[in-house]
Structure 1
Amino acid sequence: MTGQEEPSSFRLAYVPGVTPTKWVRIWNERLPDVPLTLVQVPADEAFELLRGGGADAGFVRLPVDRTDLSAIPLYAETTVVVVPKDHVVAAVEEVSAEDLAEEIVLHPLDDTLDWERPPGLPAIERPATTADAIELVAAGVGLLVVPQSLARLHHRKDLTYRPVSDTPESRVALSWPQAETTPDLVEEFIGIVRGRTVNSTRGRAATPPQPKAKAKRPEKGGRPAEKSSRSGSGGARGAKASKNVKRGSKPGKPRRRS
């Protein structure tokens, strides 16, 4: 941290559905001397992990309590409905929340969408997790509305998904504990996520600009010598031609008069 010895590693938390591969690769290229440790955490436990010091920063789902946590919103996900492949919904490209009004729609306890009222008919009991809800969809118990990344994470050959309009979107953010001074490594990772270049003035590893090399002045006599060598070639050809002329002008034997 600033003014102190930096930690030997950087701990990055991420919730299910988030793929931090790109940012981890850039980190390893820029800071090969500081290992990055990934910490996978359930969405509903991510904030307590950050508050308790279990990670330096983390990819979480909004909303974030800004009382003691900072956050940078990154992107919003498409909301989809997961259905069996032989379900009627699988025959269309997109559905609306109203189209699901007569369907049983599962609402797991770890749901990441901020509903005013979930679509469809409620199940008798709420599944504990999204993974449990996926199993129930495969068993034909009901449908599941989730962010697209979670549908991909829990992919099964017997299930598919379609976008759903008129539903909340899940938004992913980078979050870290608030402090008077942001730790250097957190600032470095923020720069990576925001797309700052390696030579940015912010961050830990900015490369100072290198002075441009001054062009060398030609030494005295250097250029003229080169020119003289060129002119010398021409002079040599001229001398050869002159020599040939002299050879050609050599008098022959006198003719006899008749």
Structure 2
Amino acid sequence: MDLDLRKLRYFVAVADKLHFGRAADELHIAQPVLSRQIRALEKDLGTPLLTRDSHGVLLTDAGRQLLTDAGPLLASAQAARRRVTVAARGSRRITVGFRAGIAVAPAIQRFATEHPDVPVDVQRIEGDDQAPMLLDGRIDIGYVRLPIDEAGLRVAPLYTEPRVAVLPVGHRWAGKKEVTEADLVGEPLIWHADTSTQPTRHPHPNAGYLARGVDETLEHVAAGRGISFLPRSATVFYSHPDVIYVPVPDLAPDQVCLAVPVSRVSPVVDDFFTAAQAAAEITAECGNYEMWQRGGDAAAMHG
């Protein structure tokens, strides 16, 4: 029995809400219709996916597994729809996603020597967008920073980048040329909800403010709500009058990678992947990312 994607979308809505009424409202269908579709999906798969009792809706083990698998399946279907639409227009255009502080131009220029007829669009992405935008086809290839959910993706390391501490100008360590992890132990951290992704050996207390992107991070730090850690390229691409960058040599470096969906079969995208790897190697050989080194030399400056 083939898996019905419409039923799968209905299931994901219920699994996310754990409430049939709210899921039906989100899907703009009647609740009895939604219930029938979920029962039909369970019949197709030969197993219960949800249980309902006095405490509400719960996922069975099979339901939890299907929810895990459903995201990449639905994203892949959406990506296929996008690619068919693009192909119907006769376009070979590709879109490259990139995280803040990553230079894409060298790869675009190298790629253009072999494919001058293929336009390359660029789109800034944030950490929580990396995998979803690749899987659903909004971008064809991405310059990503770890961590990333690699399910359904081919991820290749590109280079590592030192990190710096982001401190408010009045911080006790703001005037130092560099600091150690030990100097910053116990400082509230502006970071992701998942503290396991912190780059330090010693966890920091969560400052309680989640920043989406470098700009938001700088504003939180400037307001004295905590400190943060960013790749050294931030010292070149971003400045703020109330924030200062200080190198932390013993901090785990940031890992930049290239990522494409496993399901993406495109010689043009493969050629860009190769061009990006070659451009990174040449840049490293010519001075270990000299542009970012200049930023590192000025890391104690602000504004």
1:171 aligned onto 2:255 = yes
Q: Indicate the residue corresponding to 1:91 in structure 2.
A: 175
Partner of residue 184 from structure 1, selected from 267, 272, 281: 267
Displacement, 1:38?
A: 0.9
Q: Indicate the residue corresponding to 1:155 in structure 2.
A: 239
Partner of residue 276 from structure 2, selected from 179, 189, 193: 193
Displacement, 1:139?
A: 2.2
- CA change 1:182–1:46 in 2 (3 A) is same
1:37 aligned onto 2:130 = no
Query: In 1, distance between residues paired with 2:227 and 2:211?
Result: 15
Structure whose residues are more often helix by fraction: 2
- Cα deviation code 1:175-229 (max 9, x no counterpart): 11113x8411012112212328xxxxxxxxxxxxxxxxxxxxxxxxxxxxxxxxx
Structure with the greater alpha carbon radius of gyration: 1
1:19 aligned onto 2:138 = no
Contact 1:80 1:164 in 2 (8 A): yes
Contact 1:109 1:128 in 2 (8 A): no
Contact 1:113 1:170 in 2 (8 A): no
- CA change 1:51–1:121 in 2 (3 A) is closer
- CA change 1:53–1:67 in 2 (3 A) is same
Which stretches of structure 1, 4 residues or longer, exceed 6 Å deviation after superposition?
none
Structure 2: tracts of 5 or more residues without a match = 1-82, 280-303
TM-score, normalised to structure 2's length?
Answer: 0.55
Q: Which moved more, 1:131-140 or 1:72-81?
A: 131-140
1:60 aligned onto 2:144 = yes
Q: Percent same amino acid among aligned pairs?
A: 28
Q: Indicate the residue corresponding to 1:73 in structure 2.
A: 157
Structure 1: tracts of 5 or more residues without a match = 197-258
Q: Which moved more, 1:90-99 or 1:151-160?
A: 151-160
- CA change 1:56–1:132 in 2 (3 A) is closer
Displacement, 1:90?
A: 2.7
Query: In 2, distance between residues paired with 1:187 and 1:23?
Result: 12
Query: In 2, distance between residues paired with 1:129 and 1:56?
Result: 22
- C-alpha RMSD over aligned residues: 3.1
- CA change 1:70–1:121 in 2 (3 A) is closer
Question: How many residues get paired?
Answer: 192
Q: Indicate the residue corresponding to 2:224 in structure 1.
A: 140
More contact order relative to length (CA 8 Å, sep ≥ 6): 1
- CA change 1:82–1:115 in 2 (3 A) is closer
TM-score, normalised to structure 1's length?
Answer: 0.63
Q: Which amino acid aligns with 1:92?
A: K
Q: Which amino acid aligns with 1:148?
A: R
Query: In 1, distance between residues paired with 2:124 and 2:107?
Result: 15
- Cα deviation code 1:84-131 (max 9, x no counterpart): 3343323222111110125333324499954476654442x2334343
Q: Which amino acid aligns with 1:85?
A: V
Query: In 2, distance between residues paired with 1:153 and 1:119?
Result: 27
Q: Which moved more, 1:170-179 or 1:99-108?
A: 99-108
Displacement, 1:162?
A: 1.2
Q: Which amino acid aligns with 1:91?
A: G
- CA change 1:17–1:118 in 2 (3 A) is farther
- CA change 1:41–1:114 in 2 (3 A) is same
